[in-house]
Amino acid sequence: MEEWLEDDERLDYLLAENLRIIQSPSVFSFSLDSVLLSKFVNVPHHKGKIVDLCSGNGVIPLFLSARTKGHITGVEIQPRLFDMADRSIRYNKLEEQIHMVLGDVKEIPKELGIEKYDVVTCNPPYFLAHEASDKNLSEHYAIARHELYLTLEESIQSASKLLKQGGKAAFVHRPGRLLDIVTAMRANRIEPKRMQLIYPKEGKEANTLLIEGIKDGKPDLKILPPLYVYNADNEYTAEVREILYGKEK
């Protein structure tokens, strides 16, 4: 086991998928947002080419590998996170299905190819570069959470360039950026088609937004039922438990 891990890294379970992932409290650990996006997006079951932008430690490609036999490419700009993702892929013996690329999302369409992909997913940085944040954030977390190297608009622009006509792009973000997201999607030929709001619990404001669009699609946005993360007892709801742990037998 030690040969796979460095420094304060640990090997965590992705329970519903029966996979393992390398994480680090000081470098990067995935959030529920990534899990939700990987379950929300429509992916082809048997074939197809998928790109995950802002992959971090590779969590979304790993989750998607349990839902599709298509080839998945993850893109990450930080060498340390790229390396963690690469080791997790090799640990799970998924090298033939998942391939990580170390690179800048803004430039990646030139490298991977224009209009060659069926699906693009992205969990981009949520916060503007100038927004106040935890002063104790590591550089790795700061880059992942703040628009230091990539803006929302740039991530959507790259997704559109990668997508074939009729391909799907799915994003997770904060509800407060909904109008920015829709504006940028339409400006880049991605028509919003499905949207879902995630609430911490009933009676609280939504704090997460999932949205999927089709390149050159026709206007017809469907709003899915809300998803609540916690119940009145502050335990995961049945829906979220199934997402995280799989169906109860």
Helix axes 152-162, 178-187, angle to 10 degrees: 40
For residues 41-66, give the mean pLDDT: 95
Whole-angstrom distance, CA of residue 246 vs CA of residue 244: 6
Determine the Cα–Cα distance for residues 32 and 42; give it in Å rounded to an integer: 18
Does position 161 have pLDDT exceeding 80, yes or no?
yes
Of 239 and 150, the structure prediction assigns the larger pLDDT to 239
- The pLDDT tens digits for 84-112 are 999 999 999 999 999 999 999 999 999 99
**Residues 6+ away with beta carbon under 8 Å from 132:** none
Mean pLDDT, residues 203-218 = 97
pLDDT at 23 over 60: yes
Distances (CA, A) of 94 to 4, 36, 37, 73, 115: 15, 21, 20, 12, 25
The fraction of the chain above a pLDDT of 70, given in percent, is: 89
Kindly report the CATH number assigned to the domain that includes residue 173.
3.40.50.150
Sign, CA torsion 169/119/99/3: positive
What total of structural domains would you count in the chain? 1
Q: What is the DSSP string of 69-130?
A: -SEEEEEES-HHHHHHHHHHHHHTT-TTTEEEEES-TTTHHHHH-TT-EEEEEE----B-TT
Q: How far apart are CA 138 and CA 145, in angstroms?
A: 11
The confidence score (pLDDT) of residue 92 equals: 95
Predicted confidence at residue 2, as pLDDT, reads 59
Taking residue 13's Cβ as centre, other Cβ atoms within 10 Å add up to 11
Name the more confident of 147 and 212. Answer: 212
Mean pLDDT within 133-146: 52
**What pLDDT, on the 0 to 100 scale, is given for residue 18?**
86
* 57-77 average pLDDT score: 96
Q: Note the pLDDT of residue 17.
A: 84
What is the pLDDT, as a whole number, of residue 3? 73
The pLDDT of residue 133 is above 90: no
How confident is the model at residue 136, as a pLDDT?
44
The DSSP bridge pattern shows strands 71-76 and 227-228 to be: unpaired
| CA distance from start to end of the chain | 30
pLDDT of 30 reads: 87
Instruction: Note down the domain range covering 173.
Output: 2-245
